[in-house]
A and B are shown apart, each in its own frame.
Chain A
Amino acid sequence: MTYQPQADFGTPESRSTEQVTLTIDGRPVTVPAGTSVMRAAAEIECSIPKLCATDSLESFGSCRLCLVEIDGRRGTPASCTTPVEPGMVVHTQTPHLQKLRKGVMELYISDHPLDCLTCAANGDCELQDQAGAVGLREVRYPVEATHLGQAKDQSNPYFDFDPSKCIACSRCIRACDEVQGTLALTMQGRGFDSKISAGLASDNFLGSECVSCGACVQACPTATLVERSVAEIGTPDRAVVTTCAYCGVGCTFRAEMRGEQLVRMVPWKDGKANHGHSCVKGRFAWGYAQHAERITEPMIRDSIDQPWRVVSWDEALGFAATKLNAIKARYGATALGGITSSRCTNEETFLVQKLVRAGFGSNNVDTCARVCHSPTGYGLNKTFGTSAGTQDFDSVDESDVILVIGANPTDAHPVFGSHMKRRLRGIDGRPPAKLIVIDPRRIDLVRSPHIEADHHLALRPGTNVAVLTAMAHVIVTEGLADEAFIRERCDWDEYQHWAEFVSLPTNSPEHLAAVTQVPAETLRAAARLYATGGNAAIYYGLGVTEHSQGSSTVIAIANLAMATGNIGRRGVGVNPLRGQNNVQGSCDMGSFPHELSGYRHISNASVRALFEQDWGVELPPEPGLRIPNMLDAAVEGTFRGLYVQGEDILQSDPNIQHVAAGLAAMDCVIVHDLFLNETANYAHVFLPGSSFLEKDGTFTNAERRIQLVRKVMTPLNGMADWEVTQALANAMGLGWSYAHPSEIMDEIARLTPTFAGVSFDRLDKEGSLQWPVNEAHPDGSPIMHVDGFVRGKGRFVVTDYIPTEEKTGPRFPLLLTTGRILSQYNVGAQTRRTENSLWHGEDQLEIHPVDAEDRGIRTGDWVKLSSRAGETTLRALVTDRVAPGVVYTTFHHPDTQANVVTTDYSDWATNCPEYKVTAVQVGASNGPTDWQRDYDEQARRSRRIAPVEAEAAE
């Protein structure tokens, strides 16, 4: 499509169901009650001049440009702050209004630079447009005292702030407040001295609390806040709606393009997951897609001590296929396997598991969800009967109590974090929701501007089950359970068995306080609030799943929701916040070794028959190996070939030394990625990957929402990832012939009942669909378990608190837990290759002042972090965000190698690693450990690429 800015109706949509009819400029219009006159006019394409109004923000009424005349009313009210009334007669353009507006505009322009031709916002400036709209032709005021010629603030790497162009409309300040909820911006001074300021007057944008979400830039009507990319490239000439490839929120963006060059990513107002908001990653951190380190040609080598050799696609695919076929012939199909990626599309993931099952002939396929949300699949399936969250994001608007456990939404799921903060602040006009945070660390939500958690349960890492069981104890023993709901919707006998268990004195908060370190009264108060505070919703993340009792914790959460009747309607539910963009999708697509797409077990003969008939092969009926088991089997010598798409198991999986040993033992490791990642140090074949900007497909976000990813540029490597997998399959002789990812989705829909109604055509028309989409739910399912649980009766499962085997002791007295920071993403492969590293250039170890003092450690010191598994070094940050006895770090940088330290303990049901609890010691250090030095040397040698020999001139 040609470039059109997104429509702006001036003020937000009213949700009222009552309709009001009025007349504007002689034309009748009917809108919901509560709509502004400005918006009502916009509905009939009558654009009243405006500057301080935009439909992402509440009306403000400061610019005096949107004045109208209303029959029977005196004066000229502002249309943005005047609500419609039945029978109202509005005139938007009269000689009087024209004169007033021209006068107002003349004042604005008298203090605005007239460099329109060389301005970054030329052609995309509301001030310019409105000057035209009001017919301004001259400025009569003398140029005396003005705000012109002030220095720009260019500290932020992604946007510039030019105060000379500011018209003091406060849109940026209001966006920071209402949309993002950070409140970093303020109006400093009064009257003529009014000036937008990020933080204190001494701060610049980078040094302030600004989180660089871009909401202010989007709201700015002039070039005061403008993307640096627009300043450098120019305005876009087309826009394509696509889906972000970072976290599981699944924001949709308009990729605004000029030719094949991406000018900017602008959050799409109609996006159902993000409603026009964004974070620093999706909005700005896309430069990695064209980073100089991206590998765009295939490479091979016989052994990992050799340098890489750049070859043609045919040679690389032939080399890989020969090796895979040879391994299969000699060691059998079970010696081969693959790993699918939660960063790739559903279609690509489906193809990789199909290649493994139908091509390799084994079920040895796993996905990175193994190390994050596999317990969610297990736990929610056992209790509710489906492996997914129960709500859509908008459900939070109707929550009265929000319980956040083991998640840090403002850092890891920032756009939903902002959504949640709006509810917690009650800026929708309803009383603010109450907040319970269960986290060993004082995450931002516990206390941030205008938000304070009602209860923060700063539990000892590893005691989630004990805390949740103690909450259940309070709910049951104090008679707060919703027995009517339970009798109707759940298995009553199982409930009674569970209730009897949680009521045991050994499960009381008082008894368990010694273990959890949560004061009993705090826990009791939190339990009472959750059970009796109205609609209560639970949001959780990897602080729940990445434990030896990860699956039990998910089950305990489901038990609480069922016991209090908080399931099956808006405002309640159990909501796993997914780490990566397509974790939900990769799990849905049959990436786990024991199940086919739609979570159907491989041992089910009738399900297998469906696939066997479609694919024309016989499938093995037993489950395949999980990632850690693949590595064990590799060390043992029975697993010898692995195809890894878009994953970096050497950096992201626990106990790196074990992963390295497993990879080193294999005959053929194929890495398919954008970059020579850490796993590629052990690879024999490198197949260059394509970015999300270079392919068509779908991602499924944390709300089960399937959304289109649209290709906006030609792949630098020549092929989208699904084409590469198909080419590898065909090199092995499989004869696949997909011409477009939509054909792969058609196959998924044909073989997967929950996807039966999904197609690219429908997604294109409707924007998104939330599975299940089938005969029973033709338009998808925003909320699940509405009339009953998917499994029939909800099932209560007793969850015993079983302490992890990872224990502190004299040698390792502290507990290490890990997490993420806003500006970086997972192992950092993408964000480290952007300016986001300005905010977070290295992983740091957070340590409590008391523990730091005991060890003589100050902020900025190098410290050695050691566990039973290994040791690494990083810098310390002394802070009381963590409790005494607990230390915390991120895992975004490969040189830190936090996973050298994590152990191979894992969840009992799914083998999801116990990243969140490692017993460690911290001490002063002089520099990198031997392991870090050896690793650097191996990585440096392994990344060598042999120079391509010059071809002889003909």
Chain B
Amino acid sequence: MSAGADTTATLIRMANQIAQGLAREADPAAAAAEHIRLYWEPRMIKALLATGGAGLSPIAQEAYGRLAGA
């Protein structure tokens, strides 16, 4: 995805929602990164990584870091 404004906003929102949904896990950032790896198509992950991470919550930001480092 070339990630237009709408799609970028959707992906950021989804990532934040996932991070919030898994915030009570033992390692929330790892769980969020794993969830994204398990359920997101590679284009979506690539587009998320292309955003630079602006607008992500702290847990989502950390998950973002793990996805980027993978």
Interface of A toward B, CB cutoff 8 Å: 334, 363-364, 501, 548-549, 551-552, 593-594, 601, 603, 622-626, 629, 632-633, 635-638, 797-800, 802, 805, 904, 908-911
- Distance of B15 from chain A, by nearest CB (Å): 10
Q: Is there contact, CB below 8 Å, between A638 and B41?
A: no
> A501-B24, A551-B21, A908-B21 in contact; A633/B1 too (CB < 8 A)?
yes
Selected from B4, B7, B24, B44, the residue in CB contact (under 8 A) with A798 is B24
| Inter-chain contact B40/A623, CB cutoff 8 Å | yes
Q: List 30 A-B contacts (CB under 8 A).
A: A334-B41, A334-B43, A549-B21, A622-B41, A623-B39, A623-B40, A624-B41, A625-B41, A625-B43, A625-B44, A626-B39, A629-B41, A629-B44, A632-B7, A632-B10, A633-B43, A635-B6, A636-B1, A638-B1, A638-B2, A799-B24, A800-B23, A800-B24, A904-B10, A908-B18, A908-B21, A909-B18, A909-B21, A909-B35, A909-B39
Q: A623-B41, A625-B43, A633-B1 are in contact. List 10 more A-B contacts (CB 8 A).
A: A623-B39, A623-B40, A632-B10, A636-B1, A636-B7, A637-B2, A800-B20, A904-B10, A908-B21, A909-B18
Interfacial chain A residues near B7, Cβ < 8 Å = 632, 635-636
A501 smallest CB distance to B (angstroms):
7
Bound-complex Cα distance A548 to B21 (A): 10
Q: Which residues of chain B come closer than 8 Å to A909, judged between CB atoms?
A: 18, 21, 35, 39
Report the minimum CB–CB distance from A626 to chain B (whole Å): 8
Residues in A with CB closer than 8 Å to B1 are 632-633, 636, 638
| Complex Cα gap A552–B18 (Å) | 11
Say yes or no for B14: interface residue by CB 8 A criterion: yes
Partner of A908, one of B2, B20, B24, B40: B20
Chain A residue contacts of B17, Cβ below 8 A: 548, 908
Complexed CA–CA distance, A909 and B18 (Å): 6
Q: Which 3 A-B pairs have the closest CB atoms?
A: A908-B17, A908-B21, A798-B24
Closest-by-CB residue of B relative to A501 is B24
With a cutoff of 8 Å between Cβ atoms, the chain B residues found around residue A798 in the complex are 24
Chain B contacts with A in 21-53, Cβ cutoff 8 A: 21, 23-24, 35, 38-44
Closest B residue to A622 by CB, please name it: B42
Tell whether, in the assembled complex, residue B20 and residue A802 are in contact, meaning their CB atoms are under 8 Å apart. yes
Which B residues lie at the A interface, using CB under 8 A? 1-4, 6-7, 10, 13-14, 17-18, 20-21, 23-24, 35, 38-44
A592: nearest residue on chain B (CB-CB)? B39
CA distance A805 to B14 in the complex (A): 12
Which residue of the partner chain A has the closest CB to B37? A603
* A636 and B39 form a contact (CB under 8 A): no
- B7 nearest CB across to chain A (Å): 5
Cα A788 to Cα B57 in complex, Å, equals: 38
CB < 8 Å: which of A601, A625, A908 contacts B38? A601
B59: min CB distance to chain A, Å: 12
Q: Tell me which residues across on chain A come within 8 A of B6, comparing CB atoms.
A: 632, 635
Tell me the minimal C-beta distance from B60 to chain A in angstroms: 11
Q: A614–B44 Cα gap in the complex (Å)?
A: 30
A775 to B64, CA, bound (A): 43
A802 CB contacts on chain B under 8 angstroms: 20-21
Q: A632-B1, A636-B7, A908-B18 are in contact. Are A594 and B38 (CB under 8 A)?
A: yes
The closest CB in chain A to the CB of B42 belongs to A622
> Residues of A contacting B14 with CB < 8 Å?
908, 911
Interface pair B43/A638, CB less than 8 Å apart? yes
Q: Are B2 and A636 in contact (CB under 8 A)?
A: yes
Q: Which residue of A lies closest to B45 (CB)?
A: A622
Q: Chain A at the B interface: mostly helix, strand, loop or mixed? A: loop
Whole-angstrom distance between the Cβ of B40 and the nearest chain A Cβ: 7
Q: How many angstroms between the C-alpha atoms of A363 and B39 in the bound complex?
A: 11
* Beta-carbon nearest neighbor of A624 in chain B: B41
* Nearest Cβ on chain B to A909's Cβ, whole angstroms: 6
| Residues of chain A within 8 A of B40, CB atoms compared | 623
B19 nearest in chain A by CB position: A908
**Which residues of chain A are near B44, meaning CB under 8 Å?**
625, 629
Which A residues lie within 8 Å of B35 (CB)? 909
- Whether A364 contacts B2 by the Cβ 8 Å rule is no
Contacts of A904 in B (CB 8 A): 10
Contacts of A603 in B (CB 8 A): 38
B2 to chain A: which residues have CB within 8 Å?
Answer: 636-638
Highest count of chain B CB atoms <10 Å: which of A364, A548, A632, A633:
A632
CA distance A370 to B3 in the complex (A): 23
In whole angstroms, how far apart are the Cα atoms of A492 and B70 in the complex?
Answer: 33
Minimal Cβ-Cβ distance residue in B for A548:
B17
Residue of A nearest to B35 (CB): A909
CA distance A636 to B38 in the complex (A): 23
Q: Which A residue's beta carbon lies closest to that of B7?
A: A632
Complex Cα–Cα for A909 and B4 (A): 23
A911 closest partner in B (C-beta):
B14
CA distance A797 to B24 in the complex (A): 8
Least CB separation from B1: chain A residue: A636
A636 to B23, CA, bound (A): 31
Which residues of the partner chain B approach A799 to less than 8 Å between Cβ atoms?
24
C-alpha gap A548/B17 in the complex (Å): 9
Q: Which of A601, A635, A908, A911 has the most CB of B within 10 A?
A: A908
Q: Is B41's CB under 8 angstroms from A636's CB?
A: no
B residues near A548, Cβ cutoff 8 Å: 17
CA–CA, A665 to B7, complex, Å? 15
The answer to whether A635 and B4 touch across the interface, beta carbons within 8 angstroms, is yes
Contacts of A549 in B (CB 8 A): 21
Greatest chain B CB density within 10 A among A551, A552, A800 is at A800
Query: Which residues of B are found within 8 Å of A797, using beta-carbon distances?
Result: 24
Bound complex: CA A910 to CA B13 (Å): 13
Whole-angstrom CA separation of A642 from B42 in the bound complex: 19
The docked-state distance in angstroms from the alpha carbon of A910 to that of B39 is 8
Q: Which residue on chain B has the smallest CB distance to residue A497?
A: B24
CA distance A633 to B13 in the complex (A): 16
The answer to whether B43 touches A594, judged by C-beta atoms less than 8 angstroms apart, is: no
A633 surroundings in chain B (CB, below 8 A):
1, 43
| B57 CB, nearest partner CB in chain A, Å | 12
Task: Find chain B residues with CB under 8 A from A623 CB.
Answer: 38-41
For the complex, what is the distance from the CA of A622 to the CA of B46, rounded to whole Å?
13
Task: Assess A636 versus B4: contact at CB under 8 Å? Given A622-B42, A624-B41.
Answer: yes
Output the least CB separation between A154 and chain B (Å). 54
The minimal Cβ–Cβ distance linking A703 to chain B, given in whole angstroms, is 27
CA distance A638 to B21 in the complex (A): 29
- CB-CB under 8 A from A636, the residues of chain B are 1-4, 7
Q: Which of A622, A626, A799 has the most CB of B within 10 A?
A: A622
Assembly CA distance A624 to B7 (angstroms): 17
A contact residues around B18 at 8 Å (CB): 908-909
State the CA gap A802–B44 with chains docked (Å). Answer: 25
